[in-house]
Structure 1
Amino acid sequence: MLQVLIGLIIIAAIVVGGLYIFQKTTTNRVNDIKAKKYKLVELHVERELESGSKMSLTGESLEEFKQLQTGFDQIRTEQFNNIDELADEIYREVKGVNVIKTQSDVKMLDSLVTEAQHDVTQTRETLNDFKKIDQKHRQAVSKLEKKYQALRKQLLSQNFKFGDSIDSLEDQLSTLEDEFDKFSTLTTNGDHISAKDILAKLELNTNHLENLIKVIPDLYHQLESEYTDQLDELKSGYDQLVIDNFNFKDANIATEINNIETQRVAVLAKLSGLDVDAVKKANESIERQIDHLYELMQIEIDARPQVTEIMPQVSKFIIHAQNQNHELMLELDRLGQNYTLDHGELETARGLGEQIKQLEKDYQNDLNAIENKSAIDSSVLEQQQEALVQLEQIEKQQTEINDDVDSLQSDEHRAKETLRQFAIDIHAIKRHVESLNLPGLPKSYLEYFFVVSDEIKKLDSDINKIKINMEDITKQLLIVQSDLETLEEKTNDVKDSAQLAERLLQYANRLREDNVEVEVAVQKAQKLFDESYDYSASLETIATVLDKVEPGSYKRLEDNYYGK
């Protein structure tokens, strides 16, 4: 029983201790929350509002300010009182045992203070916005007033820089000044909300007017001064060029100058209407047209001295090319009687002659135009420069043709000398073969010998014709040269095979009595030698058996023959 009692005492102590801790913690929490509320009170927002009421607000601004005051009064009378009442209630509750309700009320108290903090902060920010816009608008009044005075002064003192656009600029400035008066009145009266909309438009339109005043003088100067001076210069320059007999292709400069002048006047009208973007584009177009006319005139001015210089050059070159072509045609005609010209030399030369005639015709037309004062110098210069290029190419082609045919006679002489040497060479081969005293010659060798002999005869016949084809002769010379070299090789092969075969047969005769195989080979080889005249086969037959019977004998006899 005592233990139960002790247990109950302990539990009671724990509960009492817990309640004490809860009461202490809750009281501290409520005190902290109330401290936040006191800080809001100490801000004395009502004094700030009282100071703000001295801004002499009117209209919508005054209505908004009154709403702001009413809202803060509600914060003081309702929200602050609610906070105090709930805090007092929590102080009473915390002494009891209804822990759950007390905790709920503490959360509610914290929420009310947080809401009050937000509302007070918003009130102060809104009030600060009022003060800022009041200050901004009053500064804007001073700034714009000075700006309009400066603009008015500039337009009055520099009206000559704006031309007819001065009227439109002054109208815009007057309109801005009227709007400014409204803005100034609203600002003075404190109706900042209404003034705010006017200020935005004023600033936008004032910037636009300032930009117009900034750019129009340069545009007007271009139209009224620069372009006028340039057009006058172009007109006087063109008139002088006409007097000096200059002509122009694809351009009526006088008409174009008048057209540009018409455009200039039309653009001035746009400038007076302040259509700056259109004027800028139009000025760019006028400038391009003026530059183009200057370029056209300068091209002809620059071309004339070059034409004066190039015409005699072309004349001399044409005469030179004509003489060269005439001499080339005579030479080709003469050579054509004795030689076949199979590379179209005559046709090419005639074609070049026709080109020269056309160039001479074009030159004469340009010369007549110059004499008649109707020439367009740049066109004449371009055509005659091209003529020089063509004449250089013609001269090069005619020289190449002349060089090609100029060697025909010397080529013929060399060909005949070569042919004479071929005749000597084949005759020497024939004598050499006869001196070998062979029983006969192989059929293949004789056939090749007669082929080469016939080639030499044909070459001799072709080269002694009345009209020869040197290209064909040259080809034949190369063929005969190659075939003669082959014939000499074949002749040496016959000689070496025959003489070696004789030596090997003489050597084999010493062995034939003692060796049947040698006897058979000697008979076969001798028959090939005496009857078939196949000396290489005869040599192979006897050489094979000797190397078999007496190895190395053939190599020894061969080396001895060639003197190794």
Structure 2
Amino acid sequence: MMYGIIGVIVLLLILLICGFVIRKQFYREIDRLEAWKIDIMNRPVIEELGKVKQLNMTGEAEELFERWRKNWEDLLNDDLPAVEEKLFEIEAYTDKYRFRQAKALQARTETILNDAETKVNTIISELNELVDGEKQSRLEIEELAKVFKGIKKQLLTHRHTYGKAIKKLDSTADALAAGFGQYEQMTQEGNYLEAGKMADELKTQVNALAEKSAKIPNLLTETGSLLPAQLAELEEGYQEMTAQGFVLDHLQFGKEAKEMKDKLQFCRERLDAADTTDVEAGIQELKDKMDTIYDILEKEAYAKNYVLHNTQKVKQALEEISAKNDRMQQETDEIRQSYQLLQENMDVPNELEKQIEKLAKRFTLLEAKIPENQSIYSVLSDQLKEIEAQIKKLREDQETFTEYLQSLRKDEIDAREKIAGLKRQIQDIRRMVKLSNIPGLPETYKELFKEAQEAIRETMDSLNAKPLNMETAGRHLDHAAEITGHLQDHTKELVESVMLAERIIQYGNRYRRRYKKVADGLQRAEHAFRSYDYHAALEEAATTVESVEPGAIKKIETMVKSEEPL
């Protein structure tokens, strides 16, 4: 029973505490809404409305002012008092712990304050738009008036440069002057928003008139005198070139000239109406087209000059490469008697001859067209340049083949000089062996010497063969050079081994009586030496002497190199 009472008391305490906390939160929210309401009431709307009174309070300005003032009074007299009443009700519900009703009323109150905030912001925004817009448009109109004054002065003092367009420009200027007057009337009547729109329209129109007044004189000069003169000059040049025999039908000049004149007339009509739309683009199109035709005519003139000045040169070049090919063919036949040529190399002069004949036919056809005045010179020039390029290529091919033929003789001479050098090298090797007083030569060395002599003989045979195959001779020469080089290295090694073995045996004789193993070792070395196995003799002698005197071989080698006596 006691625990039940205690539980009820604890529950009541928890409820009381929770209720106290929730009430405190609602009171804080009531304070926030109250502060918000006071902030809205203190907004400087009246001071801002005072700015409007500086304007002409008529028409549109007066209507806006009255609407803004009424909206502000309605907010002060209706919306904000309603908020005050609802705050009292929320507080009453909160005191009675009727939190659900207080929450719902609190949401409606916040909605009223949000609407009030929007109304105030709208009033201030629209008011600033009116005041600032009036100031901005007034400054723009003042600046536009200065620009407009300059335009009228330009139109007045330079009327003769505008041609027929002056009427349209004057009419546009008069309309703009009326627009400035209309703007002033709108501001006097308090219609500042409409006046702002009018200022924007005037700015666009004045800028357009300024651009036209600046461009039209130059455009009239171009379309009235410069371009017609250039077009006439172009027509005259075309007629002169046609009379000189140039074939220019591919230009369709009559059609192009009519289109250019039509475009020129179109631009003139636009300018007479003071309309520059598409005129600059049309003039640039005319210039580009005339430049293109000028370039084509100039190209034709250069092409004719090129054809007339280079035709004979090309003809002479064809004759030269044809004659050279004949000499090359004769030289090939002569060389074929002495050298074996690959079939593909033998066919080169014939292949070149076919190409020369084909090229000569092309040139003959081209040459026949020149006096007929029926061909486009730029086409003939391109064809002539192509023939020249092929002649250059044929010359290079001829030069390459001539160098190949010359290389055959050069390769033969080089090969004979090299084989002569190998023979001298064999003689030097013989002399080296003879001067070394070698007791006898090993069979392996004799075989290597014989192989080198045989390789040299085979090389000579291949060089003396008729017809000569330089590829085969080259392989024999490489083999002979390799064997001879190996023989020379082996000879040097053999001579050194003989000399060193003799010196080591002589040096080791000082130990022969004292050490039996030295006597036996040296005896084996001498036996190998007498058997012409000099490498084995050197190895046996060196091992024997080193066994009783470490380092002796190095000392002996040094003595041998310096040829000091042992």
Contact 2:500 2:560 in 1 (8 A): no
Structure 2 matches for 1:152-551, cutoff 5 A? 158=160, 161-163=162-164, 165=165, 168-169=168-169, 172=172, 175=175, 186=185, 191=189, 193=191, 196=195, 200=199, 201=201, 204-248=204-248, 251-341=251-341, 345-385=345-385, 387-416=387-416, 418-419=418-419, 422-423=422-423, 426=426, 441-498=441-498, 501=501, 512=512, 515-531=515-531, 533-549=532-548
C-alpha separation in 2, matches of 1:147 and 1:153: 10
1:509 Cα deviation from its structure 2 partner: 6.6
Code of the aligned partner of 2:281? K
Give the direction of change, closer, same or farther, for the CA distance of 1:154–1:343 in structure 2 (3 Å limit): farther
- How many pairs align? 447
**1:48-69 C-alpha deviation (Å, 9 max, x unpaired):** x9xx9xxxx99749979x99xx
1:387 Cα deviation from its structure 2 partner: 4.5
Contact 2:212 2:274 in 1 (8 A): yes
Residue 337 of structure 1 aligns to a residue in which SS? helix
Contact 2:242 2:248 in 1 (8 A): no
Code of the aligned partner of 1:327? R
C-alpha separation in 2, matches of 1:552 and 1:197: 118
Give the direction of change, closer, same or farther, for the CA distance of 1:448–1:173 in structure 2 (3 Å limit): same
**1:165-214 C-alpha deviation (Å, 9 max, x unpaired):** 55644654565566678678x59x96474994796355654553454344
RMSD across aligned C-alpha pairs, in angstroms? Answer: 5.0
Contact 1:238 1:254 in 2 (8 A): no
Code of the aligned partner of 1:376? I
Give the direction of change, closer, same or farther, for the CA distance of 1:559–1:344 in structure 2 (3 Å limit): farther
Residue 247 of structure 1 aligns to a residue in which SS? coil
1:19 aligned residue: none
Residue 277 of structure 1 aligns to a residue in which SS? coil
Code of the aligned partner of 1:369? K
C-alpha separation in 1, matches of 2:476 and 2:397: 29
C-alpha separation in 2, matches of 1:364 and 1:414: 46
1:11 aligned residue: none
Structure 2 matches for 1:74-223, cutoff 5 A? 158=160, 161-163=162-164, 165=165, 168-169=168-169, 172=172, 175=175, 186=185, 191=189, 193=191, 196=195, 200=199, 201=201, 204-223=204-223
Code of the aligned partner of 1:545? T
C-alpha separation in 2, matches of 1:199 and 1:298: 56
Larger radius of gyration: 1
> Mean Cα displacement is larger for which, 357-366 or 297-306?
357-366
Give the direction of change, closer, same or farther, for the CA distance of 1:249–1:331 in structure 2 (3 Å limit): farther
Contact 2:267 2:279 in 1 (8 A): yes
The percentage of aligned residue pairs carrying the same residue is: 24
2:105 aligned residue: none
C-alpha separation in 2, matches of 1:496 and 1:149: 117
C-alpha separation in 1, matches of 2:442 and 2:235: 102
Code of the aligned partner of 1:228? P
C-alpha separation in 2, matches of 1:310 and 1:481: 55
Give the direction of change, closer, same or farther, for the CA distance of 1:341–1:60 in structure 2 (3 Å limit): same
> Mean Cα displacement is larger for which, 468-477 or 201-210?
201-210
Give the direction of change, closer, same or farther, for the CA distance of 1:289–1:144 in structure 2 (3 Å limit): closer
Contact 2:508 2:545 in 1 (8 A): yes
Contact 1:179 1:198 in 2 (8 A): no
C-alpha separation in 2, matches of 1:181 and 1:280: 34
C-alpha separation in 1, matches of 2:152 and 2:530: 140
C-alpha separation in 2, matches of 1:405 and 1:503: 58
1:146 Cα deviation from its structure 2 partner: 7.9
C-alpha separation in 2, matches of 1:383 and 1:210: 56
Contact 2:522 2:544 in 1 (8 A): no
Task: Identify unmatched segments of 5+ residues in structure 2.
Answer: 1-52, 67-126
Give the direction of change, closer, same or farther, for the CA distance of 1:136–1:246 in structure 2 (3 Å limit): closer
Contact 2:525 2:541 in 1 (8 A): yes
Give the direction of change, closer, same or farther, for the CA distance of 1:281–1:551 in structure 2 (3 Å limit): closer
1:140 Cα deviation from its structure 2 partner: 11
Contact 1:235 1:254 in 2 (8 A): no
C-alpha separation in 1, matches of 2:500 and 2:251: 98
Contact 1:234 1:294 in 2 (8 A): yes
C-alpha separation in 2, matches of 1:472 and 1:173: 102
Contact 2:340 2:468 in 1 (8 A): yes
2:24 aligned residue: none
**1:353-386 C-alpha deviation (Å, 9 max, x unpaired):** 4554454444334322322213433344444445
Give the direction of change, closer, same or farther, for the CA distance of 1:449–1:250 in structure 2 (3 Å limit): farther
Contact 1:448 1:487 in 2 (8 A): yes
C-alpha separation in 1, matches of 2:147 and 2:407: 100
1:537 Cα deviation from its structure 2 partner: 0.8
**1:392-422 C-alpha deviation (Å, 9 max, x unpaired):** 4543443343234224335434534543564
> Mean Cα displacement is larger for which, 453-462 or 416-425?
416-425
1:230 Cα deviation from its structure 2 partner: 1.9
Give the direction of change, closer, same or farther, for the CA distance of 1:198–1:541 in structure 2 (3 Å limit): closer
1:242 Cα deviation from its structure 2 partner: 1.0
Give the direction of change, closer, same or farther, for the CA distance of 1:258–1:496 in structure 2 (3 Å limit): same
1:241 Cα deviation from its structure 2 partner: 0.8
Contact 2:517 2:544 in 1 (8 A): yes
Give the direction of change, closer, same or farther, for the CA distance of 1:348–1:153 in structure 2 (3 Å limit): same
Give the direction of change, closer, same or farther, for the CA distance of 1:375–1:346 in structure 2 (3 Å limit): farther
Contact 2:433 2:491 in 1 (8 A): yes
Code of the aligned partner of 2:298? Q
Give the direction of change, closer, same or farther, for the CA distance of 1:302–1:141 in structure 2 (3 Å limit): closer
C-alpha separation in 1, matches of 2:143 and 2:549: 136
1:423 Cα deviation from its structure 2 partner: 4.9
1:101 aligned residue: none
**1:477-534 C-alpha deviation (Å, 9 max, x unpaired):** 2432342132133234334534654566577678655542233223322332344x31
Q: TM-score, normalised by structure 2?
A: 0.62
Code of the aligned partner of 1:535? Y
Contact 2:148 2:206 in 1 (8 A): no
Code of the aligned partner of 1:544? T
C-alpha separation in 1, matches of 2:463 and 2:143: 115
1:30 aligned residue: none
1:7 aligned residue: none
C-alpha separation in 2, matches of 1:538 and 1:148: 122
Give the direction of change, closer, same or farther, for the CA distance of 1:154–1:361 in structure 2 (3 Å limit): farther
Give the direction of change, closer, same or farther, for the CA distance of 1:355–1:249 in structure 2 (3 Å limit): farther
1:391 Cα deviation from its structure 2 partner: 3.8
